[in-house]
Amino acid sequence: MRYFLTFSMLLFCAIGFAQTKYQVLKDTTDSSSIVHKVQEIPEIEVSSKNPLSNIKSSSGGVFIDVPKLKKLPSILGDSDPFKALQYMGGISQASDASANIHVRGGENDQNLILLNGSPVENPTHILGLFSVFNPDLIDQMQYLKAGIPAEYGGRLSSVIDVKNFINPPFSTELSGNIGLIASRLSLKSHIGNRFSYYAAARASYIQYVVMPLLLKLGVDPQLTQNSFEYYDINAGFNYYFGTGTKLSAHYYKGQDMIQIAELSQFSFEGNSSRWGNHVLGMQLSHVFSNQFSMLHHLNFSGFDLNSTMNWLANDYRINTDKKAYNYKADFIYLAGNHNIKTGLETSFEKQLPITIRTGSNDSLQTNFRYNQFVSGAVYLRDEWETGPLLLNVGIRTSLYHKLQAYTSSDDYELSAIDKAKSFLGLEPRLSARLMLDDKSSVKLSAGKHYQYNNRVQLINFGLPIEIFVAASSVTRPSSLWHFSGGYFRSLYDNHWEISAEAYYKSFSNLLEYGGTLSDLFSVTAIEQLMYAGKGYAYGTELMLRKNFGKIAGWINYTLGWNYRQFDDINDGKRYLASNDRRHDVSAIVMYNITPRWNVSATFVYATGNRLNLPRSWYIIDDKVVLEFSGYNAFKMPDYHRLDVSLTYKLPQWQNIDSELNLSIYNLYNRANPFEVHYSTKTEENNYDYKIAMTYLTPILPSISWTFHLK
């Protein structure tokens, strides 16, 4: 038997907690902490997540059912709801072992990823194998790929909003996971009835456990010379003042360390990189009345990268650095069928685009100055439901002011590019949902988006070696018009759900790095090396999902086209974007064999990425020269992978619930390309070239033990 409960106001009573009134607003942290709490009772599934929510919501996004996603195949022992996002429609991983994700043809830097409201620059660990979000702490996730409401801005393509610790614990809870590759431990507790807190840590130890094991199994020793490690820590608290006021804070620090012994037999070796995010945030919310509430955010987010690589017998030391300070205030007012939200945000950001040093005593180094800018936005939106129609109308006005560039070098002369520059953007947003009957709906959305700072890829494999480029007099803000529409229907008493969506995106002022590595040393403003151009992406997404039963899961199929057009690239002719994916399939199946045994599997298939590769060679001036076809004319081999997972829930011992998990990543050992490189060699009467693909992730079995102590 199954019951679906909906609430508009909750009186929250629990042992150890003060009686607190909660307004049920779709947008507030407090409300969702209640609404999305899932409790499993034998034979009765009580879920706050209305199975019709995807049909009834106005936006083109979904609230992620976090408990359900945690049952997906745990990748290398870590069940990761954020990683599971990649099995949603419209979102795709860039390539094997890549941290990059692309939403509906957008670029990797166009995703606004939030942790309790604080932006996170790089959302994954170990080349995309794990997310930076500790799965024990995630209580709520929202993924918006279309119809993004006016309260979100600054990024063009999507919003992924992750909220940690919004469900306060009723007692002290200790959770953890011990695996072959990494382990984690988290503590959630409270002091008195007003103060609750959490602390969590994760760390990997691949080089101490996995690599020796692989060596014994006879794996290529070169592969085992590579090292990938990460750690992260989380801490935070909630304090309820008892008068409808709540103060919360969160802290996150993560670090990745990677060492690649050799990537190209010809010339690239000895890469050692460290990078990580740093996030600190505070939130203050207050419910004034049944109609009116407010929420204030104060955030700091930082990202830095230090990389060393040896290339053609030269050591290159690469640094990037970014720090952002952000304040945001949201006000929500309920009036009849209207849910009105307004607010403002402002931020100050300082970024070092990139520094590269090489030569003895760093004799050769780039001389880019720090970019500094302030940005702000005000927004107003109204979600209005009348009969079968739900309208979400909003306007966002974004302001951006680039401050004069900063440099520590006295002999540096500021150019026109470095001077202060301001931009103003009006971003209308509209989404509508019309219920055709009680089980089906159509949705339409349109919106304009601006993005004032970009990360432009310098090196096109998994490492996040990217250049920060802020809008300036020569690199205008990127913008997007996004139109989307779809049909949604539930079937068979809501057991099944189908949807078909179509989208069209028109990008302006996209950026590509237009120079070579050596060019970086010859200019002082990185903007001089950027090409700007347009982009178009369109496609159709089909989804079939089974929500309940012993077997549940879904299959998504996306048919998409993604083009770019730059005056300075490909003779100004339109070309396919590197992340063009003609076909993209993701399928998930979860099977509860018994209450204790659970098996699940995921399969992904995607058309290969586009890239530049030569098609012929010739010799001129005593050098082997490779001739290229059109820009991005080459298609990598298609990507596909099957992961499986088997979980056994162990009998409870003392107060410990635990389960054993066996997972196999890349079950049939598909060699999905990590990168393709080419190189030439010329010596007297001895010419050669080489084109080779590198593969990083073979079949990876893993076993882990997850426990939960209350």
Partner 1 sequence: MRNPYILLIGMLILLVGCYPDIDYTSRGYTEKIIVEGIIESGKYPKIYLSLNVPLSESVDSTTIRDKVIRDAKVTVSDGNVKEILTSKWDVEHFPPYVYFGTEIKGQTGKTYHLKVEKGGYSVESQTTIPLDFQIDSVYIEPTSIDSLRTLSVAIKVNKDRKNAYRIYTKKSKDKRYIETPIVFNSDFSLDGLQKFTLSPLPNKNDSSFTEGKYFAIGDVVDIKVMAIDSTTTQFFKDLTMFSVIAGNISINEIKPLSSNIAEPGFGIWYGCAVQTKKIIIR
Residues that bind partner 1 (CB under 8 A): 263-264, 266-268, 311-312, 457-461, 512-514, 516-518, 531, 568-569, 612-629, 631, 633-634, 637-638, 642, 667-671, 673, 675-685, 687-689, 691, 693, 695
DSSP bridge partners of 307: 273, 318
**In angstroms, what is the minimal distance from the CB of 621 to partner 1?**
6
CA pair distance 309, 319, nearest whole angstrom:
12
Q: For residue 474, give the nearest of 505, 427, 509, 524 by alpha carbon.
A: 509
Which residues make beta-bridge pairs with 196?
190, 238
Find all residues with CB under 8 Å of 651, minimum gap 6, and list them: none
Q: Which is nearer to partner 1, 395 or 523 (CB)?
A: 523
Which of residues 148 and 263 has its CB atom nearest to partner 1 in the complex? 263
Nearer to partner 1, 259 or 264 (CB): 264
Structural element, H or E, at residue 691: strand 686-695
Closer of 207 and 267 to partner 1 (Cβ) = 267
Is 33 or 666 the residue whose CB approaches partner 1 more closely?
666
Shortest CB 589 distance to partner 1, Å: 11
In contact, 22 and 16? CB cutoff 8 Å = no
Between 18 and 693, whose beta carbon lies closer to partner 1? 693
**Closer of 267 and 308 to partner 1 (Cβ):** 267
Q: Which amino acid is at 208?
A: Y
**Least distance between partner 1 and beta carbon 373 (Å):** 25
**Closer residue to partner 1 (CB): 2 or 640:** 640
Instruction: Tell the smallest beta-carbon distance from residue 623 to partner 1 (Å).
Output: 5
550 phi/psi in degrees, rounded to 5: -65, -35
Three-state SS at 36: coil
Comparing CB distances to partner 1, the nearer of 493 and 568 is 568
* CB contact burial 627-653 (16+ within 10 A = b; e otherwise): eeeebbebebebbebbbbbbbeeeeee
CB of 617 to partner 1, least distance (A): 5
Q: 492's torsion region: left (phi>0), alpha (psi -120 to 50) or beta?
A: left
Q: Which amino acid is at 596?
A: R
Q: For partner 1, which is the closer residue by CB, 531 or 707?
A: 531
Give ∠ CA 469-470-472 in degrees, rounded to 5: 115
Q: Are 357 and 364 in contact (CB under 8 A)?
A: yes
Decide: 332 and 25 in contact? Cβ < 8 Å.
yes
Smallest separation, CB 568 to partner 1 (Å): 7
Residue 84: its H or E element = helix 81-84
Coil, strand or helix: which one is 128? helix
> C-beta of 705: minimal distance to partner 1 in Å?
27
Residue type at 317 in one-letter notation = R
Q: State the nearest-atom distance from the C-beta of 161 to partner 1, in Å.
A: 31
Token digits for 206? 């691949």
Quote the least distance from Cβ 362 to partner 1, whole Å. Answer: 20
- Beta partners for 290? none
Q: Encoding tokens for residue 538?
A: 């369109």
Strand 118-119, strand 614-620: pairing? unpaired
The minimum distance between CB 262 and partner 1, in angstroms, equals: 11
